Amino acid sequence: MTVNKGKRIISDILLIIVLIIFPHMGLLPMYAFAILLLLLIGGYLKLYQEGFSDIGFRFRDISFRSFWLGGSIGLGFAMLMYWLVGPLLAWLGFTPANVSDFYYIRHNFAQLLILLAIASFLVIPFEEIVYRGFIFTRLKAMAAGSKYSFAISGLITSIIFTLYHYQEGIGAMISIFLGAIFVIWLYKQFKGNLWYLIFFHIVYDIFMLTAIYLGYM
């Protein structure tokens, strides 16, 4: 299949805009928009005779190593952000993360488990497939030919991912940007295997959501 590069760039950009904006429109609950947008990505890739494997998501890549190593790094990073970076940002005068959307899980173990299940099995894989998978891969393709293509596309992806969480406030956005840059570095270290990033993200969120449940955030 011959692909017109200019048309592909335009269609990529349009889909990226949809992926960023649609979740914030409030039209569907998070589990529903995640499924819908993953189907949209799958259909879009199929138009170009591609699949999820072309953006780094392959079930054959899942392994015990990706689970324990990705998860361990995620736990260490969560502890660093919670006990060092968060307090430092507060000391510098930045408002703590606005996590009021998650207050309903405070001291409600059943709601915590439900949210962790939805996040772990759907929302987090969705975010990694969308941002470090589709968006990063397509931006990197747009920057092909430049020796800085990885750095440029990684930086832009991290900025977009940070802006996607604008509702959490400036302090949280700084932390999220630092995390996004670190995850792009992990992506390179693990040769584009998204499972390391998914398990990193899952354990990180388990730590933070548990802190909310216990009333510490």
Residues contacting residue 8 through CB under 8 Å, at least 6 positions apart: 48
Give the residue from 185, 187, 156, 182 showing the smallest Cα distance to 81.
Answer: 182
Pair 74, 148: CB distance under 8 Å: no
pLDDT at residue 2 above 70?
A: no
What is the domain extent for residue 25?
5-213
Q: How many structural domains does the chain have?
A: 1
Pair 44, 170: CB distance under 8 Å: no
pLDDT in tens, 149-189: 899 999 999 999 999 988 888 888 999 999 999 999 999 99
Percentage helix, strand, coil, to 5, in the chain? 80, 0, 20
Predicted TM-score (pTM) of this structure: 0.92
49/62 Cα distance (integer angstroms)? 24
pLDDT in tens, 39-48: 999 999 999 9
